[in-house]
Amino acid sequence: MPPLDKRHCFSVHCPSRLLFDQIADKWSMMVLTVLDPGPARFNEIKRNLQGVTQKALTQCLRRLERNGLILRRVIPTSPVGVEYEITPLGRSLQGPFKALYIWTLQNLAEVDRARAEFDTRNGGGGSAAAKAA
């Protein structure tokens, strides 16, 4: 794999641009993390993702399934059961995700400092809208 070009230019049709949006969202990262130890049922996943709505989780799982990152298996029991499981492709994404997750943990403090300083410099004599961003 080649290193990133100097002053890399991202064309509109750059494939990674489109893919990045699909896979790099908050819920997807969390779902892949929760499924890491093994398959899990819908509500089991939901319980581990505090605050996610049924709709958001369903959409997220569909997208993950469509992109080949997880597998959906229906268990024909009396009330229907569904199990979700990571695919090998999904596992290959855990490394990059974990790197990002660890970065957030390691640098959270410094980011907070930077934010406080920024808000003092700017929001100090102005609107509080800056913090809302």
Binding site for its own copies (CB under 8 A): 1, 4, 6-12, 15-17, 19-21, 23-26, 29-30, 33-34, 36-37, 40, 47-51, 59, 62-63, 65-68, 89, 92-93, 95-108, 110-111, 113-115, 117-119, 130, 133
Residue 81 or 103: which CB sits closer to its own copies?
A: 103
Q: Is 79 a binder of DNA (CB under 7 A)?
A: yes
Contact 49, 57 (CB under 8 A): yes
Shortest Å, Cβ 37 to DNA: 17
Beta bridge partners of 73: 83
Distance CA 31, CA 28 (A): 5
Contact 75, 81 (CB under 8 A): yes
DSSP structural state of residue 83 = E
Nearest-10 crossing angle of helices 54-66, 26-34: 80
From the list DNA, its own copies, none, partner contacted by residue 82 (C-beta under 5 to 8 A by kind): DNA
Shortest Å, Cβ 43 to its own copies: 14
Contact 74, 41 (CB under 8 A): no
Q: Which residues contribute to the site for DNA (CB under 7 A)?
A: 41-44, 51-56, 58-59, 61-62, 72, 79-82
